[in-house]
Amino acid sequence: MTITTTVIGSYPKPPDEGQPFVVRKTLHGLERKEKTEQDLARAQDELVRTIIGEQEAAGIGIVTDGHGRWDDILTPFAKHITGFEIGGLLRWFDNNVYYRRPVCVGSLEWGGPSSVDAFLFAQTVASRPVKTVLPGPVTFARLSVDEHYGTHEEFVLAIARVLAQEAFELEAAGARYLQIDEPALLDAPEDLSLAKKALELITDELNSEETEVTLATYFGDAKRLGADIYDLPAEVFGFDLVSGPENRAIIDSLPDGKKVQVGLVDARNTKLEDLGELAHDIGSLAETFGADRVRVAPSSGLEFLPREKARAKLARLAQAAQRAETNGR
Amino acid sequence: MTTKELDGPGLWTTSVGSFPKPDYIKKARSQFARKEISREDLLDLERRATREWIEFQTSIDTDLVVDGEMYRGDMVAFFAEELPGLEIGGLVRSYGNRYYRKPIATGPVGRDHAVTVDWWRYAQSLTERPVKGMLTGPYTICDWSFNEHYATRRDLVLDLAKVIRDEALDLERAGAKFIQIDEPAASTRMDELDLVIESMAIVTEPLSAHTITHICYGDFHNAYPKMLDIPVDQIDLEFANSDYSLLEEFSDDPFTKYIGFGVVDVHTHDQESVEAIAEGIRRGLKHIPANRMFVDPDCGLKTRTVEEAKTKLTNIKKAVDVVRAEL
């Protein structure tokens, strides 16, 4: 049996202690007009190459580009969507990390692909499949300000229509692993049916049987959504078992034919998980659902950790999955 | 707790805490990190920069002065460097291209010497005006650190509360009449607001100084009005960066403490006009009387340039003068 390991999305940008932090310096240089956009793109390419290399070296099965070019999951899209402006800083959920809040000031229109080139680059440098990440429409809307549509539903659906075009382009470019992040849905159970409608606008644009959609949640538990979360149009459902231990009950009710992506390693604390306990946890998930229906991952994006710690966490996760496989034989 | 009342007309001008470091400090800090200059060399320059900021605040007639934190990297790491049980960890991103070294609790947290008193004494020696004692609150130190030692966050917060209380008592003994215990993380998790209140009570209970806490970038809508239960005399909040929308909350539940009223956005190069700031203060005065209001920037100014920060502070002072004349 093989248990697939993956990541949720982000990866630390700072290099190991003592190494030059090229992206940071280039951004400073760009501000002072001593560097160009091309210099930045080159520095980001190099960062993404390193990030993917580290994930693969740790033994991760499905990788991401670590959001190496992004500050958060909203801005890179909002920047390419006509009708959005970029607003002030706001706390990113319960983290000491801040994002710029998109402000919707007019009709939303797709202004061309936001993430396709980044995907193509990542897939070129990776030897494993690359997962691409889109912000979910409910999360996008809830973390933005609407000064145009007036109703939450219209706003969410307008965002979904634009993201659907992005998803279509990503699939056409060859992306087969598409993750849609809906962390804000955990605290908004009243949006569940709206989320279904919005996500269907996106999944309806996908044509390939091979394209697999993951609906990812993190930073909490889905107990207010309960098993109704499985009504959403996705093949894989992602839960954070570190911040939301109560997700266990929801994972237990995973419907036949669906897969689960389980965040088991704490992506927000440096303390390293015990290998034996982790392997045991992974083993029992594989036993319950069958190894092919289980993906194991960190609890959220890894950008909350220093680089060395993130790498150690991934190595530990991959080791534990391997041990669980050996034990399960 | 009972609020310690202050005399005077109100609309006192002050600052949240940090100011931008002049280029010679930035240079000296990296030289010190590379061991090219001594600790004493760096200290000399930090004293000079502190003196310059105090002189500037005096020149614009600031009522309640801060030392500007020329000697602090950031508000949590500064304490982590000095407190046993906390270690400085690796770089993590805060926002955009900004990074900080996130501490790690690796053992029981304690305090073996006063951390801020010498700097407070030095700053106070430079001015007749009161200088704020500046501490980071126990909840925020915990929230902005990794925890590899304590079984629960609460255990870590309560140990930190005793440390910060002892530091506050030392400041008070040295003569500080205003002590600010920053809790920017306080409005992060509603289910832990009780822990913020409990830990702040440990810090402020023995103090007779006017106590202040600064809170920012959180779920204010849900944290208010419960936030008023945090046992301090004054809460300092950001208003400018949300176009004063926080004031709407005060219509249903009146603000009952002294307020630190943030009137300039600290994350933009743009300068608010004197009239825009004055209008913001007038909006605030519909909810809070002048004699309960301190006026200041939204947050620490350390991410601005020295010139940007000085202009913002000068505009605040001019706006306060405009509004005072109308009272």
More confident residue, B9 or A165: A165
pLDDT of residue B6: 81
B97 contact residues in A (CB cutoff 8 A): 24, 27-28
Contact with chain B for residue A18, Cβ under 8 A: no
C-alpha to C-alpha distance for B256 and B106, rounded to whole angstroms:
39
Contact with chain B for residue A33, Cβ under 8 A: no
Write out pLDDT tens, residues B252-281. 999 999 999 999 999 889 999 999 999 999
What is A19-35 written as a DSSP string? S--HHHHHHHHHHTTSS
- In this structure, chain B runs to a length of 327
Residue B188 has pLDDT above 70, yes or no: yes
B147 contact residues in A (CB cutoff 8 A): 269, 271
Contact with chain A for residue B217, Cβ under 8 A: yes
**What is the average pLDDT across B49-62?**
98
C-alpha to C-alpha distance for B254 and B225, rounded to whole angstroms:
8
Answer yes or no: are the C-beta atoms of A134 and A180 closer than 8 Å. Answer: yes
DSSP B144: T
Residue A328 has pLDDT above 90, yes or no: no
Which residue in A97, A99, A306 is closest to B91 by CB distance?
A306
* Matching residue, tokens 């982590």: B80
Gyration radius from chain B CA atoms:
19
> Any idea what the Cα angle at residue B226 is, between residues B279 and A242, rounded to 5°?
115
pLDDT of residue B3: 65
Q: Is the peptide bond before B20 cis (omega within 30 degrees of 0)?
A: no
pLDDT of residue B4: 66
C-alpha to C-alpha distance for B89 and A5, rounded to whole angstroms:
27
Q: How do beta strands B91-95 and B98-101 pair?
A: antiparallel
pLDDT of residue B263: 97
Contact with chain B for residue A28, Cβ under 8 A: yes
User: A93 to chain B: nearest residue by CA?
Assistant: B188
Is the Cα torsion angle B158, B162, B163, B168 positive or negative in sign?
positive
Write out pLDDT tens, residues A271-314. 999 999 999 999 999 999 999 999 999 999 999 999 999 999 99
- Joined tokens for residue B209: 């100084």
**What is the average pLDDT across B142-146?**
96
**What is the average pLDDT across A179-203?**
98
Q: State the nearest Cα–Cα gap between A152 and chain B, in angstroms.
A: 18
Residue B211 has pLDDT above 70, yes or no: yes
pLDDT of residue B220: 83
pLDDT of residue B2: 56
pLDDT of residue B217: 72
Contact B241 A89 (CB under 8 A): yes
C-alpha to C-alpha distance for B266 and B243, rounded to whole angstroms:
13
* Matching residue, tokens 């092919």: A292
Mean pLDDT of chain A: 97
Contact with chain B for residue A307, Cβ under 8 A: yes
Instruction: Name the band, by pLDDT with cuts 50, 70 and 90, for residue A4.
Output: very high
Write out pLDDT tens, residues A245-278. 999 999 999 999 999 999 999 999 999 999 999 9
Contact with chain B for residue A98, Cβ under 8 A: yes
Write out pLDDT tens, residues A205-242. 999 889 999 999 999 999 999 999 999 999 999 999 99
List the 67-126 stretch of B: residues with Cβ below 8 A of A: 89-97, 99, 102, 104
In the chain, the amino acid numbered B125 is S
C-alpha to C-alpha distances, A65 to A26, A221, A237, A299, B116, nearest whole angstrom: 19, 26, 20, 17, 43
Write out pLDDT tens, residues B7-44. 888 999 999 999 999 999 999 999 998 999 999 999 99
User: B150 to chain A: nearest residue by CA?
Assistant: A271
Q: How do beta strands B86-87 and B104-105 pair?
A: antiparallel
Contact A270 B97 (CB under 8 A): no
Instruction: Name the band, by pLDDT with cuts 50, 70 and 90, for residue B174.
Output: very high
Residue A147 has pLDDT above 60, yes or no: yes
Question: Which value does ipTM take for this structure?
Answer: 0.94
pLDDT of residue A88: 86
Which residue in B92, B147, B185 is closest to A306 by CB distance?
B92
* Matching residue, tokens 């670590």: A66
pLDDT of residue A329: 66
Residue B5 has pLDDT above 80, yes or no: no
Residue B185, helix vs strand vs coil: helix
In the chain, the amino acid numbered B50 is T
Write out pLDDT tens, residues B107-127. 999 999 999 999 999 999 999
Cross-sheet strand order for the sheet of A145-146? A81-91, A98-110, A145-146
Contact A91 B188 (CB under 8 A): yes
Answer yes or no: are the C-beta atoms of B280 and B11 closer than 8 Å. Answer: no
Percent of chain A exceeding pLDDT 90 equals: 95
Residue B138 has pLDDT above 90, yes or no: yes
Residue B133 has pLDDT above 60, yes or no: yes
Instruction: Name the band, by pLDDT with cuts 50, 70 and 90, for residue B216.
Output: confident
By C-alpha distance, which of A174, A186, A238, A178 is closest to A203?
Answer: A178
Contact A24 B104 (CB under 8 A): no
Residue B147 has pLDDT above 80, yes or no: yes
pLDDT of residue B236: 97
Which residue in A88, A90, A308 is closest to B90 by CB distance?
A308
- Joined tokens for residue A108: 């939303």
**What is the average pLDDT across A124-140?**
98
DSSP A246: T
Mean pLDDT of chain B: 95
Percent of chain B exceeding pLDDT 90 equals: 90
Contact B93 A90 (CB under 8 A): no
**What is the average pLDDT across A49-75?**
98
Q: State the nearest Cα–Cα gap between A124 and chain B, in angstroms.
A: 26
Answer yes or no: are the C-beta atoms of B204 and B171 closer than 8 Å. Answer: no
Task: Judge residue A141's burial from the number of C-beta atoms within 10 Å of its C-beta, 0-12 exposed, 13-18 middle, 19 or more buried.
Answer: buried
User: A88 to chain B: nearest residue by CA?
Assistant: B241
User: A273 to chain B: nearest residue by CA?
Assistant: B148
Most B CBs within 10 Å: which of A69, A94, A304, as the mutation test of the B interface?
A94
C-alpha to C-alpha distance for A263 and A275, rounded to whole angstroms:
15
